[in-house]
């Protein structure tokens, strides 16, 4: 619902609509994103809808329309006017509704392909705010978008999966629903979503009613296929979902098969054949008489093949089958191993919550410590801290630390910008007073590989740098990593004792799994954190954990699995 309202606001702005009306849609969308209430279940109760901040009678009527039809008439009307692809333009870097409106009015540009054609034809030359640099930026943005088109971030896929799962479990006789595919393996993006359901309603003689229930999911934009035990459909954001209704007797075989990866499954089938079995989505069976050996659970299947059960995150045919057969799989890191989150922002810069609120939220998650690491002054758009404000902020963090009375430690910190020449954005005398100094690149991403590598290496040399933040600067499906000699950076970080961050924010997930493996091989210290700008963002740690697990990392590989005193002691020695 929030997405549809936000899209309507964007379309209204493109259409030159009333600014008050646009703000009302945006405010309502933000309210829905923040509320913990199940809005879909409230649409029959006007009083409860109106109790949500930003929802008046008109907006409540819109929510009821969305609940009833899965869409919004005004949004559909505007999309009919401009074409269904115009919202794609907003996914390009630097492209807001006003710029989209400019391009539409000047050149009837209503899609990414039309924009590429207009650039090639020179139609953008001379338009307001369309200098050579901006046009080149758009050209590169189009290239990046086309590479990532059809992929969805892990958090978007997870959110869709949970909504559909809750809907399916409300049907009598559906007892279990499990995501499979890329999402279950924890990949950072997904091309589609596979959901497997089982229970009495999923037995072959009873699936007809369950199939109709699946097909009536209110978020469906388009039904692609509907069979005896499978429904394929597309959501409003374009994500394709395949729901399979399966008998309990073959659920494990189906879960193993549809989880993948393809390479893992091929290797597993080859092992099965050598042992005299055939492995399919229905069962592990003997080749000679087709009798079923295992099918109900994954554990039974792997055991029958002489292997330990393999965590889904490892199923990429990168040695996990051999390790499982030799009973040498690592004990992967788990969410409960994390004792603190050490990268977050507050209202002092661009965060939504106070120091105390972040501390209380960390405590509620069971953490023993957090670090407050607001931005430095180079990021003016975030109200970054200069030396004077940083010292005052440090004093306030220490006050909150005392107020928490030992229930949770609150470390002083900063996320200091790495300037284009590699210098840090605050005086060393100020940085030296911080418990945790994260050095990050936030500007001048276009530097050459040699320039960026030298820039970061210089920042690592600063004795106050404890952690290198989001080391490649990428934004998934939006911005490619900047050019960098990652091997040189990780080797130097290991030599200096500077930890490297895995930023668990699902828009970043930086370092990626390959670089995490390299960091471990080179002996780097690794920290995982959420870069939270809101108390709710602390929950996003789980997305980063999946990447650590995909990289085969264990509890001992990650610094902030240590208690508070040992964590501080494990950071780079300074002074």
CB 75 within 8 A of CB 61: no
DSSP category for residue 139: H
CB neighbour list of residue 46: distance below 8 Å, 6 or more residues apart: 57, 60
Residue closest to 180 by CA, chosen among 235, 255, 247, 233? 255
CATH number of 152-246: 3.30.460.10
Contact between 253 and 281 (Cβ < 8 Å): yes
Assess whether pLDDT exceeds 90 at residue 323. Answer: yes
What would the two tokens of residue 64 be?
Answer: 């009821």
CA proximity to 343, closest of 321, 367, 319: 367
Question: Across-strand partners of 231?
Answer: 226, 243
Q: What is the mean pLDDT of residues 473-485?
A: 89
Short-list 291, 209, 192, CA closest to 245: 209
Angle at 67 between CA 58 and CA 162, to 5 degrees: 130
pTM to 2 decimal places: 0.80
Contacts of 163 by beta carbon, 8 Å cutoff, 6+ apart: 219
Start-end of H helices in 419-529 = 428-431, 449-461, 486-496, 513-521
Name the segment(s) of the chain with CATH classification 3.30.210.10: 252-325
Spatial contact of 357 and 397, defined as CB atoms under 8 Å apart: no
Please report which confidence band the pLDDT of residue 303 belongs to, taking 50, 70 and 90 as the band edges: very high
Decide: 371 and 436 in contact? Cβ < 8 Å.
Answer: yes
Given a contact cutoff of 8 angstroms between Cβ atoms, the answer to whether 171 and 202 are in contact is no
Query: Any idea what the Cα angle at residue 438 is, between residues 488 and 539, rounded to 5°?
Result: 110
For residue 427, give the 3-state DSSP assignment: coil
Name the residue among 535, 482, 534 with its Cα closest to residue 508: 482
Where in the sequence of the chain do the CATH 1.10.150.110 domains occur?
A: 1-82
| CATH annotation of 252-325 | 3.30.210.10
The neighbour count for residue 393, using CB atoms within 10 Å, is 21
- pLDDT: which is higher, 65 or 510: 510
pLDDT tens, position by position, 513-570: 999 999 999 999 999 999 999 999 999 999 999 999 999 999 999 999 999 999 999 9
Among residues 280, 315, 297, 283, the alpha carbon closest in space to that of 182 is found at 315
| pLDDT for the residue numbered 575 | 55
Write out the residue limits of the CATH 3.20.20.140 domain(s) in the chain. 335-570
Query: Distance between CA atoms of 395 and 343, rounded to whole angstroms?
Result: 18
> What is the CATH code of the structural domain delimited by 335-570?
3.20.20.140
Longest dimension (CA), the chain: 79
> Which pLDDT score is estimated for 51?
80
pLDDT value at 313 more than 80: yes
Mean per-residue pLDDT of the chain: 91
CA distance 175 to 177: 7
**Distance in angstroms (rounded) separating the CA atoms of residues 419 and 263:** 43
- Residue 49's SS3 state is helix
- Stated as kind and residue range, the H or E segment containing 370 is strand 369-372
Every domain range in the chain assigned CATH 3.30.460.10: 152-246
Under the phi-then-psi rule, with left for phi > 0, alpha for psi from -120 to 50, and beta for the rest, what region is 210?
Answer: alpha
How far is Cα 465 from Cα 253, in angstroms, rounded to an integer? 49
Most confident range (mean pLDDT) of 75-89, 92-106, 221-235, 311-325 is 311-325
CATH for 1-82, among 1.10.150.110, 3.40.1640.10, 3.30.565.10, 3.40.50.300?
1.10.150.110
Locate 423 and state its tokens: 């210098």
């Amino acid at each position: 619902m929030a997405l549809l309202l936000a899209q309507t606001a964007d379309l209204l702005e493109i259409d030159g609509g009333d600014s008050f009306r646009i703000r009302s849609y945006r405010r309502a969308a933000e309210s829905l994103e923040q509320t913990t209430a199940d809005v879909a279940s409230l649409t029959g109760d006007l009083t409860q809808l109106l109790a949500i901040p930003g929802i008046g009678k008109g907006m409540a009527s819109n929510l009821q329309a969305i609940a009833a039809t899965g869409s919004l008439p005004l949004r559909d009307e505007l999309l009919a006017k401009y074409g269904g692809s115009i919202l794609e333009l907003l996914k390009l870097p630097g492209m807001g509704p006003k710029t989209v409106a400019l391009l539409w009015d000047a050149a009837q540009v209503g899609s990414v392909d039309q924009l590429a054609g207009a650039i090639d034809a020179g139609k953008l030359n001379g338009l307001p705010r369309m200098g050579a640099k901006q046009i080149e930026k758009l050209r590169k943005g189009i290239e990046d978008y086309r590479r990532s088109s059809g992929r969805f971030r892990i958090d978007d896929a997870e959110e869709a999966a949970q909504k559909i799962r809750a809907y399916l479990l409300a049907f009598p006789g559906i007892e279990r629903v499990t995501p499979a595919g890329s999402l279950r393996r924890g990949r950072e993006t997904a091309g589609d979503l596979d959901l497997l359901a089982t229970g009495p309603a999923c037995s072959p003689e009873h699936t007809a009613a369950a199939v109709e229930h699946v097909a009536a999911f209110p978020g469906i934009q388009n039904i692609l296929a509907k069979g005896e035990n499978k429904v394929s459909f597309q959501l409003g954001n374009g994500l394709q979902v395949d729901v399979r209704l399966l008998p309990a007797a073959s659920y494990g075989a189906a879960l193993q098969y549809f989880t993948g990866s393809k390479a893992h499954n091929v290797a597993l089938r080859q092992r099965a054949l050598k042992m005299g079995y055939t492995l399919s989505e229905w069962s592990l069976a003997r080749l000679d008489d087709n009798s079923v050996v295992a099918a109900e659970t994954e554990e039974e299947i792997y055991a029958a093949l002489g292997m330990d059960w393999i965590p889904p995150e490892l199923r990429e045919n990168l040695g996990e089958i051999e390790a499982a057969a030799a009973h040498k799989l690592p004990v992967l890191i788990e969410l409960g191993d994390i004792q603190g989150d050490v990268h977050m922002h507050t209202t002092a810069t661009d965060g939504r919550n106070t120091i105390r609120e972040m501390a209380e939220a960390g405590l509620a998650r069971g953490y023993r410590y957090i670090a407050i690491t607001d931005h430095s002054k180079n990021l003016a758009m975030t109200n970054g801290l200069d030396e004077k404000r940083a010292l005052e902020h440090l004093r306030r963090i220490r006050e909150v630390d005392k107020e928490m009375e030992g229930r949770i430690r609150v470390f002083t910190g900063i996320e200091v910008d790495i300037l284009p020449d590699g210098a840090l954005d605050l005086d060393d005398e100020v940085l030296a007073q911080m418990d945790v100094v994260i050095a990050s690149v936030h500007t001048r991403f276009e530097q050459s590989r040699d320039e960026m590598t030298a820039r970061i290496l210089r920042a690592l040399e600063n004795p106050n740098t404890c952690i290198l933040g989001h080391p490649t600067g990428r934004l998934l499906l939006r911005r490619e990593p900047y050019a960098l000699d990652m091997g040189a950076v990780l080797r130097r970080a290991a030599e200096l004792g500077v930890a490297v961050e895995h930023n668990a924010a699902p828009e970043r997930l930086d370092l990626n799994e390959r670089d995490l493996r390299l960091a471990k091989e080179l002996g780097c210290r690794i920290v995982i954190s959420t870069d939270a700008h809101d108390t709710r963002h602390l929950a996003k740690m789980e997305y980063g954990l999946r990447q650590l697990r995909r990289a085969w990392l264990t509890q001992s590989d990650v610094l902030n699995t240590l208690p508070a005193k040992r964590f501080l002691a494990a950071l780079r020695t300074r002074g």
